[in-house]
Amino acid sequence: MTEYDKDLRSIQEARDLAGRAFEAWKQWSTASQDQVDRVCSAMAAAALSASERLGIMAQEETGYGVSEHKHLKNIFASKNVWESIKDLKTVGVVGHDPDKRIYKIAWPVGVVAALTPSTNPTSTVMFKILVAVKARDAIVIAPHPAAAKCSYETARIMAQAAEEHGAPPGLISCMQHVSLPGTQALMGHKYVALILATGGTPMVRAAHSMGKPAYGVGPGNVPVYVDRSADLEKAARYIVASKAFDCSTICATEQAVVADRPIASRLASLMEQEGAYFTDSAQTERLRSLLFHPDSSMNVATVGKPADDLAAMAGFEIPKNTRILVTRLEKTGKEEPLSREKLTTVLGWYEEEGWEAGCERCIALIQFGGRGHSLIIHATNQDVIMAFGLEKPVFRIAVNTMGTLGAIGLTTGVEPSMTLGAGGVGGSITGDNITAHHLFNIKRLAYELSAAPAAAMLPGKPKARPSAREIEKAVRDAVEEILNTR
């Protein structure tokens, strides 16, 4: 078969799955709340049971990260996500304001086209299926080609559980013949009502260009500021563990430490005890060349790799049991490639005098590649914490926790999600952690509160159009008036 034949197969598959999803949705849109919750509970349980196997499968297929960490992400995306939405009403009357005499009625969106990444494939598929079906939507997964098999298997397991508990066939599906033309055909299909895209910038831009509602979430460039008031032992432990978690494949992972200068040396020492290795200038230059191509694009061969693999690829040795590589940097922006998002175990390091300067450095990092996404702060000074919360152009500021797990809602109270909105400043339509309530609309049944104003009830008299004779006379009078004034 030629490459062109593969594209044709992908396009046809997209059309077929969208058509089946639409027919299934017409049935599912009338499901009761009990039916919805029974199906979603069964899917969550099935995904949880397979979470370890799917984590191994994802790591083996993509070559990214750590299977045990992917297992944890799968537990989060099945168990924790379901627990966060299981009591959410998504059918019928979901709210009533007796004072305003308004009833809020849930209305499903329809067929969702869900684009998923290679970095967190199985967990993102689990999450998106749960929140879509909970909202009474149908969903078609368009996986990243590098994670097509594990994504399909995840969707298959959940679809089987759903159908065994009463969901119509075709409600949940995943493309197997994956190509760019096929994914574009899916997004543009007449039956697709909404696009839910998680991945790189080109994918998100494509989703937003389809002329349809889209939740598009791209990369982050998350700084972590460590203030002089911080619990340094905890900060060091959390930063290293978070950066090493699944080899930094979650978009909310810390990308650069901004250390308050009075505590910088102590923090660096504590991080070394946790498995951080600070590279020298020559090693840092080798990492610059390794991680990014001359056109500033990321070298995908380095994505999701352990520190020892990266050091070997860069041609230098590191101590045994090193978990992350830390590069001391001075500049931010295009002239410093390592100030970009690094989806691997390399962490930038900056030192600034005082929280105000630290604040400015964090903003520079955010503006360079993570507008609207996330920021982490370690501090006990509440004034400093609140200043960061008020001033940073991001929509998740996680305090004294791991960025990786805090931003997605595992260790904080934000909505558990694998799709993190970046708001208007980041090119998204929301800054929320996307969940089920974003995937259905609200109808409002509104009763009269006050009688219509009397003026609105008057019949009024339409102004009659002038006759031809009246128009002629008006013109003559105007001409005469002009002549008389000369």
Burial classification of residue 123, based on how many CB atoms lie within 10 Å of its CB (0-12 exposed, 13-18 middle, 19 or more buried):
buried
- Considering only the C-alpha atoms of the chain, give the largest distance between any 2 of them, rounded to a whole number of Å: 104
Say how many Å lie between the first and final Cα of the chain, rounded.
88
pLDDT at position 485: 67
The contacts of residue 112 (CB under 8 Å, 6+ apart) are 128, 132, 137, 138, 139, 140, 192, 193, 194, 195, 196, 439
Helix, strand, or coil (residue 182):
helix
Residue 352 dihedral angles phi and psi, to the nearest 5°? -135, 150
pLDDT for res 464: 73
CB atoms within 10 A of CB 252: 23
User: Which DSSP category does 76 fall into?
Assistant: I
* Residues carrying CATH 3.40.605.10, the chain: 3-218
406 in Cβ contact with 225 (< 8 Å): no
Contacts of residue 368, Cβ cutoff 8 Å, sequence gap at least 6: 221, 332, 333, 339, 340
| Three-state secondary structure call for residue 167 | coil
Catalytic residue among 40, 150, 251, 362: 251
Q: In this structure, which topology does domain 222-407 adopt according to CATH?
A: Aldehyde Dehydrogenase; Chain A, domain 2 (3.40.309)
251 in catalytic set: yes
Positions in the chain whose pLDDT score sits under 70: 1-4, 218, 462, 485-486
Are 139 and 154 a contacting pair, CB within 8 Å?
Answer: no
The torsion of the CA quartet 19, 23, 26, 28, rounded to 10 degrees, works out to -110
* Spatial distance between the Cα atoms of 195 and 193, rounded to a whole number of angstroms: 7
3-218: CATH homologous superfamily? Aldehyde Dehydrogenase; Chain A, domain 1 (3.40.605.10)
Please give the Cα distance from 1 to 139 (Å, whole number).
Answer: 29
Q: How far from 122 is each of 71, 118, 248, 413, 423, CA to CA, in Å? A: 9, 9, 16, 23, 25
The full 3-state SS of 247-304, as one line of letters, equals HHCCCCCEEEEEEEHHHHHHHHHHHHHCCEEECCHHHHHHHHHHHECCCCCECHHHCC
Task: Please tell me the pTM assigned to this model.
Answer: 0.91
Whether the CB-CB separation of 246 and 306 falls below 8 Å is answered with: no
